[in-house]
Structure 1
């Protein structure tokens, strides 16, 4: 740091302010110091900074699995959002629940041992947080869960997306819309089912019986028999829609000529399904960015200026979803 200061012709305190992104440095001086840092190959020492600030500049990500599309995409987006704010990311997997252990206890202990500044808990793991033993002072933001106590929550507008999908199918002239739902213990699945159900009821339609899958394309394929009479199906995710479409085609029911299908997530391959899949797009980048911003604000004791909170639940941020229309729901 002394060498950087000498090369830039400034004090060591000015270099420190630049390194810590202080606003108390004029742009010309900042540019000169940053050039000196680049010339000399200077990098801030993370361990030394942690000793000085009391923060490790590391956040945790807690998951039960990375096998699902949503969780893997959230991992990528969260790592990028954390890096943009100068934080490293460490990932821990929650173990299976056992007597007296929610499955998160050991994960939280590992994070505490690594002295992370806070953690984001994803999707299926979020439902376990209220019953888990949280280390004192561990700041948390939960994704796809309801805010509880001092917890901040962030989730996509699952219900709104499901409502848009259902309205789209009704607008095409279908008398009702069947639903291939996700697991019963999933917050996202429950919200998507709620949006579908409330939309049908608002149109004076009695919702058909729900057929339930486990997010996998295999479960979508297996559900086709129970949906053999449907002319319009809203699937709780794209993977189940993929398996369902294949099974329908194998049974001689063509999409969209005989049955219209809508998915949820807009996975990268959805546009290349046969036929291309109409779906609800989740903005995983915005979801991760909002979760990281909320956590960093907690860590640094700053106002969460970017918060867009749900007025009914002031500790929750809801990220909009959007309908993407493709060939799997062509007009009848």
Structure 2
């Protein structure tokens, strides 16, 4: 039953029941209305009060009843995430970034995956998420085919696309692929390399296209020769085959690889071909896999901050809900991480 303490506050914990906001209020020394405002993200709460309520929530073990909240407020605070190619590092890491940001902000996430057939998979995924009562939707659409299917499906809630170069009329956010790739290639140029090759990812992938364009434009600005890139499938095996079989790589002194997984295969293939990294060929990747620092040699690469990306996604979706969808897209920075897989070409000195 509900009781009152000496100060007149209701202490609403039932014997053996789950903690309520009244228990949180009692521990925090505030009213239950204040606890409710903190839980719902009201801005007119002192930071010291907010922190005291948060500590009380942890102390009593209070968890929100999302069904009751939805009935009381007509809001589910549920975000839908539709992800294409969830097994790949970038899309999978983006999902985890969104989930972490949503939990911190008091939202829940429902996820649906797209199979090989993006056209039917995207439409089915959108409909599934709508039946789950999502208030807004994040679509991780790395392939142009999934982006085209999304345009046809027309979700009925504020929708943000996680994709590089998503095109006009689509609210989008992504890591700054072009700037990150440009810095990676410029690093090789600054070291004195003049024959810089590229192993691209599948060119149906928007991020792969952006990285390839950045490689090409950086070489053009430097006045260097452009040899058409190889194309892989993101796997180590693709990198290994490229390193063993590509005649163009054999005439280069450096290679920018579109992801770390293929870069691992390139390093292996170069070794089997009798070439050393970085003494004979410098190698740069993209992603900064958790294991990239343990490659032999440790890999120079471009780091994508998926936690920052998730926070940006959630912030934009919440703004879209508050402003009826009228917000701008954004990019988050990429960071070049220089390790031991790159060095000046033999017989040269960098500027």
- Shorter-chain TM-score category? 0.7 to 0.9
Shift of 1:258: 0.8
Secondary structure of the 2:142 match is helix
1:51 to 67, 71, 76: 71
Q: Please identify the structure whose Cα radius of gyration is greater.
A: 2
1:286-311 alpha-carbon deviations (Å, 9 max, x no partner): 1121111111211233899xx8xxxx
Distance 1:92 1:178, change over 3 A: same
TM-score, normalization: structure 2? 0.82
8 A Cα contact 1:158 1:321, kept in partner: yes
8 A Cα contact 2:39 2:106, kept in partner: no
- 1:120 aligns to what? 138
Secondary structure of the 1:103 match is helix
- 1:95 aligns to what? 115
8 A Cα contact 2:84 2:146, kept in partner: no
TM-score, normalization: structure 1? 0.86
Give the aligned CA root-mean-square deviation in angstroms. Answer: 2.8
8 A Cα contact 2:99 2:109, kept in partner: yes
Corresponding position: 1:216 with 2:229: no
1:69 to 75, 81, 89: 89
Return 5+ residue gaps in structure 1 as ranges.
Answer: 308-314
2:332 to 312, 319, 323: 319
Shift of 1:160: 1.3
8 A Cα contact 2:201 2:231, kept in partner: yes
Distance 1:112 1:196, change over 3 A: same
- 1:140 aligns to what? 159
- 2:287 aligns to what? 265
1:201 to 196, 204, 220: 220
**Structure 2: how far apart are the matches of 1:32 and 1:291?**
28
- 2:18 aligns to what? none
Shift of 1:62: 1.2
**Structure 2: how far apart are the matches of 1:83 and 1:142?**
20
- 1:228 aligns to what? 250
- 2:296 aligns to what? 274
**Structure 1: how far apart are the matches of 2:324 and 2:318?**
8
Shift of 1:240: 0.5
Corresponding position: 1:290 with 2:303: no
Paired residues in the alignment total: 321
Distance 1:148 1:230, change over 3 A: closer
Shift of 1:13: 3.7
Shift of 1:22: 2.7
Shift of 1:97: 2.4
Return 5+ residue gaps in structure 2 as ranges.
Answer: 3-9, 13-21, 346-351
**Structure 2: how far apart are the matches of 1:250 and 1:125?**
33
Distance 1:50 1:279, change over 3 A: same
- 1:176 aligns to what? 195
Secondary structure of the 1:280 match is strand
1:250 to 272, 276, 284: 272
1:269-302 alpha-carbon deviations (Å, 9 max, x no partner): 1111001111111111111211111112112338
Secondary structure of the 2:121 match is coil
Secondary structure of the 1:124 match is coil
